[in-house]
């Protein structure tokens, strides 16, 4: 039995509690693994049935439908307003510095490498080169080199900066500590943009792909480019965009993604979070693996590039290539139309991979001769000569930052929804269930007739609080009997009993991150513990099943990975946490609870608000501390501190939190809000749409 820990204060918004128990850190991951493996078994059976060219095309069409759903919506094409801001002559080619608008006000910085001898009379094949995750974007040495090698082999090549790389720092001018942290790494910045776009029902990967699609549009305005010979290649994050552009844009005639393709299953099992743009929504739920996004364009020429020591699992790449090759064979393509090459190094677009890519493209674009093999030492580093803006930043040059564009779209969605009128409580509850992907039974009278099974774990001291603990099996596995998801219910009490001992009136605490940590904070739950009758709950991924990593709130951590795989599966991770709460409420009602008071803090306040809305006959009162102001506030702020797992996809088209709070009027006690940065706000923030409620003293101290 562990020694009692002294009472300790609750953690701050971004602090991970130390010293708490989380004995089930792989629970959520293992459930996702089971679901992905089940999908792969079904997919393998479908692939086995593909034996003819006609069946292969039918499989491709099915995959393309899921791809089109994931890569939507697409904005209208607007004027590129392209201009060349400078040029540099080099041996065998020239480089033009280019600016174009992929969307109104959204400036893209790019370099166009034009081989000597390419002109309107002798157009050359064109190549689009999306960059990987380099801080300096298109100016990174490896991206200069592949573009120069292509230019020396006779390809007009456009390499462009992604968001928050190179000249496209979207948070330029924001200088507080949080902004500096996000600006320090492009992956964190991408995930920030992505989670805000999710609120609008948009996919950041489509925003990234759209920059490339408009880059292709620019290439096709150039008289030096032959529109019948168009390639795309990139490495790492650029390998991602090469794959997505290949799937989403039919004008490309050849492609070579490097150091990206493996399998969704490999990344998950190896606990590798990915950028937000690498989680196309619903594709796993539609039965697709990564390679299916490339199979969809067979039999166009395609080369897959990897590295022997890459962190992208080469087993997944080999498996995918074997499946891809079979489609090319069924469709009657020659062996030269597909290929697989592994460099000997770790992650990166090294000269081995670049040479193989240039050979492959040259064979399909020219059909004769061999391209030159140029050592790295003979390729110049052009450095600052590649800048397309005066200060090396598009925002300084007058571009609209992406967060301002997101805010504009969010306000338009909010206004359109408001114009339809406010829904009643029952209609709102139906909309919430649909948005969070909740089934019809959880939290209803039918659900109480079939309460979840629970296991009584060994009673113990949790910090300084003695409690019985119950593992509630909230979600029976649909496909894999080895997967068991549990919520962990605590009942503080002095006795050693192993059964739930409930009164008709009870109270349930839903924490920000850990029930144990907050039960041990006298400022939060102390008064309730003295009153008695209190229970506390860790929904999936919180507290007892919190990932074992050090920083729960890291924007590229395991909680983020779980949210991302919810997107891939088409299952709201927030919705599954709400489901856990609802099923526990079903259990409590079946065990004799007639009136329940909910207390929620931070992330738990969201869960409590939804549970109270969906169970009005059981939840008689709900107290929210540090509840969000509104989803609109999150979508219109430059930066959001709340974890991505709290962002329901497409929510702003359907409802916002103030409507939930209004529906709870008469049962709701709002102590105080946290704003988008998780800073305490006691009054309504102007323009956020937060609901005004009478101030009453909370039932908890503070």
Chain segment 273-282, per-residue pLDDT in tens: 999 999 999 9
Sign of CA dihedral 385, 389, 391, 395: negative
d(CA 159, CA 44): 37
Mean pLDDT of 233-241: 98
Res 376 pLDDT > 80: yes
**Residues 381 and 454 occupy one common structural domain:** no
d(CA 696, CA 540): 31
Judged by DSSP in three states, 485 sits in: strand
- 625 DSSP β-pair partners: 601, 672
What pLDDT is stored for residue 462 in this prediction?
87
For residue 32, is it within any domain? no
Q: Do 149 and 354 contact (CB within 8 A), yes or no?
A: yes
Q: How confident is the model at residue 312 (pLDDT cuts 50, 70, 90)?
A: very high
Mean pLDDT of 164-174: 96
d(CA 700, CA 180): 36
d(CA 57, CA 702): 64
Sign of CA dihedral 373, 376, 377, 378: positive
* Token duo for residue 482: 């080895």
Mean pLDDT of 46-75: 98
Q: Do 186 and 162 contact (CB within 8 A), yes or no?
A: yes
**Residues 471 and 589 occupy one common structural domain:** yes
**Residues 364 and 496 occupy one common structural domain:** no
Boundary (domain end) residue, out of 354, 382, 410:
410
Q: Tell which residue, 270, 328, 340, 281, has the closest CA to residue 300.
A: 328
- Mean pLDDT of all residues in the chain? 93
Report strand pairing: 106-115 vs 454-456.
unpaired
What pLDDT is stored for residue 686 in this prediction?
35
End-to-end CA, the chain: 32
Q: How confident is the model at residue 175 (pLDDT cuts 50, 70, 90)?
A: confident
For residue 474, is it within any domain? yes
**Residues 155 and 252 occupy one common structural domain:** yes
Alpha helix stretches (DSSP H) within 498-539 = 515-519, 526-531
What pLDDT is stored for residue 160 in this prediction?
98
Mean pLDDT of 31-35: 95
The better pLDDT of the pair 429, 16 is held by 429
* Token duo for residue 686: 């102007």
**Residues 203 and 322 occupy one common structural domain:** yes
**Residues 402 and 431 occupy one common structural domain:** no
What pLDDT is stored for residue 497 in this prediction?
66
What pLDDT is stored for residue 605 in this prediction?
98
Mean pLDDT of 685-691: 40
Q: Do 536 and 544 contact (CB within 8 A), yes or no?
A: no
Q: How confident is the model at residue 460 (pLDDT cuts 50, 70, 90)?
A: confident
Res 127 pLDDT > 90: yes
For residue 291, is it within any domain? yes
Residue 577 has φ and ψ, to the nearest 5°, of -70, -45
Q: Do 637 and 401 contact (CB within 8 A), yes or no?
A: no
Residue 569 has φ and ψ, to the nearest 5°, of -80, -15
Judged by DSSP in three states, 462 sits in: strand
**Residues 382 and 502 occupy one common structural domain:** no
What pLDDT is stored for residue 478 in this prediction?
57
% of the chain exceeding 70 in pLDDT = 94
What pLDDT is stored for residue 368 in this prediction?
86
For the CA atoms of 97, 102, 106, 109, the dihedral, rounded to the nearest 10 degrees, stands at -20
For residue 60, is it within any domain? no
Mean pLDDT of 552-573: 96
Residue with the two structure tokens 């709870």: 664
* Chain segment 382-423, per-residue pLDDT in tens: 999 999 999 999 999 999 999 999 999 999 999 999 999 999
**Residues 169 and 229 occupy one common structural domain:** yes
For residue 259, is it within any domain? yes
524: domain CATH number is 3.40.50.1820
Mean pLDDT of 178-190: 93
Mean pLDDT of 681-696: 45
Longest CA–CA span in the chain (Å) reads 90
Name the residue range of residue 161's domain.
Answer: 70-410
Hey, how many other C-beta atoms are within 10 angstroms of the C-beta on 18? 9
Hey, how many other C-beta atoms are within 10 angstroms of the C-beta on 226? 16
Q: Do 305 and 357 contact (CB within 8 A), yes or no?
A: yes
Res 39 pLDDT > 80: yes
**Residues 522 and 585 occupy one common structural domain:** yes
Res 574 pLDDT > 90: yes
For residue 154, is it within any domain? yes
* Token duo for residue 575: 């919705």
**Residues 434 and 406 occupy one common structural domain:** no
What pLDDT is stored for residue 689 in this prediction?
43
* Local structure of residue 535 (DSSP, 8 states): E
Q: How open is the CA angle 454-456-459, to the nearest 5 degrees?
A: 150
* Token duo for residue 455: 């296991």
What pLDDT is stored for residue 622 in this prediction?
98
3-class secondary structure per residue, 617-629: CCEEEEEEEEEEC
Res 510 pLDDT > 60: yes
Report strand pairing: 106-115 vs 225-235.
unpaired
What Cα–Cα distance (Å) separates residue 162 from each residue in 76, 178, 346? Answer: 20, 21, 23
For the CA atoms of 454, 459, 461, 466, the dihedral, rounded to the nearest 10 degrees, stands at 90
**Residues 390 and 430 occupy one common structural domain:** no
What pLDDT is stored for residue 702 in this prediction?
25
Boundary (domain end) residue, out of 347, 379, 410:
410
Res 599 pLDDT > 60: yes
Hey, how many other C-beta atoms are within 10 angstroms of the C-beta on 37? 16
Query: What b-and-e string marks burial along 56-92, b requiring 16 or more CB atoms within 10 Å of the CB?
Result: beebbebbbebbeebbeeeeeeeebebeeeeeeebeb
User: Among 324-338, 498-512, 611-625, 687-701, which is the least confidently predicted range?
Assistant: 687-701
Mean pLDDT of 549-569: 93
pTM for this entry: 0.94
Boundary (domain end) residue, out of 410, 443, 465:
410
Report strand pairing: 619-628 vs 595-601.
parallel
Q: Tell which residue, 325, 326, 356, 362, has the closest CA to residue 341.
A: 356
Res 668 pLDDT > 80: yes
Res 68 pLDDT > 80: yes
For residue 687, is it within any domain? no
Q: Do 374 and 383 contact (CB within 8 A), yes or no?
A: no
% of the chain exceeding 90 in pLDDT = 86
What Cα–Cα distance (Å) separates residue 442 from each residue in 456, 492, 615? Answer: 22, 25, 9
Q: What total number of domains does the chain contain? A: 2
Phi-psi region of 117 (alpha: psi -120 to 50; beta: other; left: phi over 0): left
What pLDDT is stored for residue 4 in this prediction?
38
For residue 11, is it within any domain? no
Peptide bond into 519 cis (omega under 30): no
**Residues 532 and 405 occupy one common structural domain:** no
User: Among 270-274, 594-598, 661-665, 685-689, which is the least confidently predicted range?
Assistant: 685-689
Sign of CA dihedral 167, 173, 177, 179: negative
């Amino acid at each position: 039995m562990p020694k009692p820990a002294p009472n300790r204060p609750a953690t701050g918004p971004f602090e991970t509690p130390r010293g708490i128990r989380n004995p089930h850190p792989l629970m959520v991951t293992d459930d996702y693994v089971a679901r992905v493996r089940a999908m792969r078994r079904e997919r393998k059976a479908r692939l086995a049935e593909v034996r003819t060219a006609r069946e292969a095309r039918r499989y491709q069409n099915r995959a393309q439908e899921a791809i089109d759903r994931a890569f939507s919506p697409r904005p209208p094409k607007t004027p590129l307003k392209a201009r060349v801001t400078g040029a540099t002559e080099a041996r065998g080619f020239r480089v033009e510095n280019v600016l174009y608008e992929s969307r109104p006000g959204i400036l893209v910085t790019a370099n166009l490498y034009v081989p000597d001898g390419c002109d309107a009379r002798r157009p050359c094949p064109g190549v689009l080169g999306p960059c990987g995750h380099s801080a300096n974007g298109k100016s990174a040495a490896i991206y200069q080199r592949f573009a120069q090698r292509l230019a020396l082999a006779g390809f007009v090549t456009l390499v462009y900066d992604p968001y928050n790389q190179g000249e496209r720092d979207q948070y330029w001018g924001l200088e507080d500590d949080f902004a500096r942290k996000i600006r320090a790494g492009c992956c964190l910045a991408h995930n920030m943009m992505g989670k805000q776009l999710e609120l609008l029902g948009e996919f950041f990967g489509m925003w990234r792909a759209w920059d490339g699609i408009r880059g292709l549009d620019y290439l096709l305005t150039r008289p030096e480019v032959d529109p019948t010979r168009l390639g795309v290649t990139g490495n790492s994050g650029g390998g991602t965009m090469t794959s997505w552009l290949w799937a989403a844009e039919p004008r490309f005639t050849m492609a070579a993604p490097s150091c990206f393709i493996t399998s969704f299953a490999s990344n998950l099992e190896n606990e590798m979070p990915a950028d937000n743009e690498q989680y196309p929504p619903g594709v796993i739920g539609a039965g697709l693996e990564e390679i299916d996004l490339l199979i969809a364009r067979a039999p166009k020429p395609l080369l897959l590039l990897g590295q022997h020591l890459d962190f992208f699992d080469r087993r997944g790449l080999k498996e995918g290539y074997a499946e891809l090759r079979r489609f090319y064979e069924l469709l009657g393509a020659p062996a030269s139309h597909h290929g697989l090459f592994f460099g000997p190094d770790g992650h990166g677009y090294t000269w081995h991979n670049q040479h193989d890519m240039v050979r492959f493209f040259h064979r399909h674009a020219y059909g004769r001769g061999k391209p030159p093999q140029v050592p790295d030492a003979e390729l110049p580093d052009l450095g600052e000569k590649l800048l397309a803006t005066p200060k090396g930043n598009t925002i300084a040059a007058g571009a609209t930052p992406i967060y301002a564009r997101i805010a504009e779209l969010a306000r338009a969605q909010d206004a359109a929804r408001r114009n339809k009128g406010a829904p009643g409580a029952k209609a709102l509850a139906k909309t919430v269930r649909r948005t969070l992907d909740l089934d019809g039974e959880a939290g209803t009278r039918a659900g109480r007739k079939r309460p979840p099974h629970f296991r009584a774990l060994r009673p113990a001291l949790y910090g300084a609080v003695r409690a019985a603990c119950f593992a509630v099996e909230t979600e029976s596995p649909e496909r894999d009997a080895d997967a068991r998801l549990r919520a962990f219910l605590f009942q503080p009490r002095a006795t050693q009993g192993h059964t739930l001992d409930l009164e008709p009136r009870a109270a349930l605490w839903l924490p920000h991150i850990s029930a144990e940590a907050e039960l041990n904070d006298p400022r939060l739950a102390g008064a309730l513990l003295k009153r008695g009758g209190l229970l506390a709950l860790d929904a999936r991924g919180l507290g007892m099943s919190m990932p074992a990593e050090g920083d729960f709130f890291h924007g590229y951590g395991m909680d983020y990975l779980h949210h991302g795989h919810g997107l891939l599966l088409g299952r709201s991770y927030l919705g599954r946490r709400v489901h856990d709460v609802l099923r526990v409420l079903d259990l409590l009602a079946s065990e004799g609870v007639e009136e329940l008071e909910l207390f929620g803090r931070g992330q738990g306040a969201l869960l409590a608000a939804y549970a109270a809305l969906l169970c009005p006959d059981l939840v008689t009162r709900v107290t929210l501390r540090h509840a969000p102001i509104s989803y609109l506030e999150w979508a219109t702020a430059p930066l959001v501190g709340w974890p991505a797992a709290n962002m329901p996809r497409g929510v702003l088209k359907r409802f916002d939190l103030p409507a939930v709070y209004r529906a709870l009027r008469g049962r709701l006690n709002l102590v105080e809000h946290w704003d988008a940065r998780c800073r305490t706000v006691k009054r309504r923030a102007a323009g956020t749409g937060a609901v005004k409620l009478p101030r009453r003293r909370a039932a908890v101290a503070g």
